[in-house]
């Protein structure tokens, strides 16, 4: 496999690997082998169902030249919106705390009883029907979410929005600023699970957030927009406020680093300049990771 030359020095902030309760394309080790072959600087491991901090630490000990990091997604399986769980993850070295994904109310509302290959395990997962939300009955940020944000701000690590609704993301942005959080990632803003309208993407970018431009949104799994349309959104927002990610790792898709290589090639074909690509896959990821 020949990877695109622009991947040199890049960091993939959003992909999935095995161990997992979901079918995955590659083990952590196989993913890291591809990162090395592509001459990338590193990768962030994400799992909906468990912390990836310890896995990343072991990989980093084995490959000290790479920036391999993990974090915690605040789903039901990991303790939900738990300050104690976040505190432990940060003490272990988490570089990112993701808001709820498949346990989020918005995710549950989107999929309902819809069958999907993306979130299948061998037997049904025990989750509440309504899902988690960060807002109380008065549409205010819950007290324990403020506690979580305080921990993230004190540690100066990345806050990622997961599968929250745009209403929740907007409230979260304001609350994050109260807690002096400087590294905010608006996740897969174009993906149909929890779409963020372009007007909000530009507003969040103006407030200092980085917007994820996610290849998965252009895939056969979702088909929410074309790469050409995504390139246009990058021009509207500005590459300084975007990162390119894949969200790949599902067993039926190509491996994440191959997907990232294809994504870069297609984005370049749609008029995004090399220096803009480097900003989105090298410089902005490093900034979010505090490197």
Q: In this predicted model, what pLDDT tens digit does every residue of 169-185 receive, in sequence order? A: 999 999 999 999 999 99
Give yes or no for residue 107 having a pLDDT over 80: no
- Which range, 110-114, 123-127, 196-200, is most confident? 196-200
Confidence band for 192, pLDDT divided at 50, 70 and 90: confident
Q: Which residues of 97-127 are buried (b: 16+ CB within 10 A; e: fewer)?
A: bbbbbbbbbbbbebbeeeeeebbeeeeebee
Predicted pLDDT at 123: 63
Nearest to 3 by CA among 244, 279, 263: 263
Strand ranges of the sheet holding 67-69, from the earlier edge strand across to the other edge = 11-15, 42-45, 67-69
Give yes or no for residue 115 having a pLDDT over 60: no
Two tokens at 76? 């039901």
Give yes or no for residue 135 having a pLDDT over 80: yes
Confidence band for 269, pLDDT divided at 50, 70 and 90: very high
Domain count, the chain: 1
Nearest to 258 by CA among 46, 44, 31: 31
Predicted pLDDT at 193: 87
Which residues lie closer than 8 Å to 124 by C-beta, 6 or more apart?
none
Average pLDDT over residues 24-36: 98
Q: Indicate which CATH number applies to the domain containing 56.
A: 3.20.20.140
**Residue 170 exposure: Cα atoms within 13 Å on the Cβ side:** 12
On average, the pLDDT of the chain sits at: 94
Range of the domain at 246: 5-289
Q: At what angle do helices 256-269 and 227-237 cross, to 10 degrees?
A: 70
Q: What percent of the chain has pLDDT over 70?
A: 92
Structural contact between residues 171 and 139, judged by C-beta atoms closer than 8 angstroms: yes
Average pLDDT over residues 255-259: 98
Q: At what angle do helices 166-178 and 143-155 cross, to 10 degrees?
A: 60
Give yes or no for residue 121 having a pLDDT over 70: no
Q: At what angle do helices 28-37 and 53-62 cross, to 10 degrees?
A: 50
Q: What percent of the chain has pLDDT over 90?
A: 88
Q: At 185, phi and psi to the nearest 5? A: -115, 120
Q: At what angle do helices 28-37 and 256-269 cross, to 10 degrees?
A: 40
Q: How many CB atoms lie within 10 A of CB 27?
A: 13
Give yes or no for residue 214 having a pLDDT over 90: yes
**Measured between alpha carbons, how far is 63 from 41 in angstroms, rounded to an integer?**
11
Residue count of the chain: 291
């Amino acid at each position: 496999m020949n990877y695109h030359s622009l991947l040199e020095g890049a960091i993939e902030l959003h992909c999935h690997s095995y161990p997992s309760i979901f079918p995955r394309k590659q083990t952590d080790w196989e993913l890291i082998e591809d990162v090395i072959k592509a001459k990338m600087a590193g990768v962030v491991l994400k799992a909906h169902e468990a912390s990836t901090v310890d896995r990343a630490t072991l990989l980093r000990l084995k490959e000290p030249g790479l920036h391999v990091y993990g974090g915690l997604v605040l789903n039901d399986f990991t303790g939900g919106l738990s300050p104690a769980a976040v505190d432990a993850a940060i003490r272990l070295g988490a570089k990112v705390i993701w808001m709820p994904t498949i346990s989020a109310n918005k995710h549950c509302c989107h999929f309902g009883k819809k069958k999907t290959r993306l979130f299948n395990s061998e037997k049904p997962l025990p989750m509440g029907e309504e899902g988690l939300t960060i807002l109380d009955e008065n549409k205010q940020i819950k007290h324990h979410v403020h506690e979580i944000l305080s921990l993230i701000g004190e540690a100066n690590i990345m806050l990622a929005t997961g599968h929250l609704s745009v209403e929740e993301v907007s409230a979260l942005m304001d609350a994050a600023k109260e807690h002096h959080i400087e590294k905010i990632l608006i996740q897969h803003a174009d993906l149909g699970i929890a779409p963020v309208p372009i007007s909000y993407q530009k507003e969040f970018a103006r407030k200092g957030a980085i917007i994820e431009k996610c290849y998965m949104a252009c895939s056969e799994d979702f088909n929410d927009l074309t790469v050409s349309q995504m390139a246009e959104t990058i021009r509207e927002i500005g590459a300084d406020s975007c990162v390119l990610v894949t969200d790949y790792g599902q067993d039926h898709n190509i491996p994440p680093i191959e997907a990232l290589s294809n994504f870069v090639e297609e984005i370049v074909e749609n008029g995004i300049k090399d220096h803009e690509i480097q900003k989105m896959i090298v410089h902005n990821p490093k900034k979010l990771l505090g490197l």
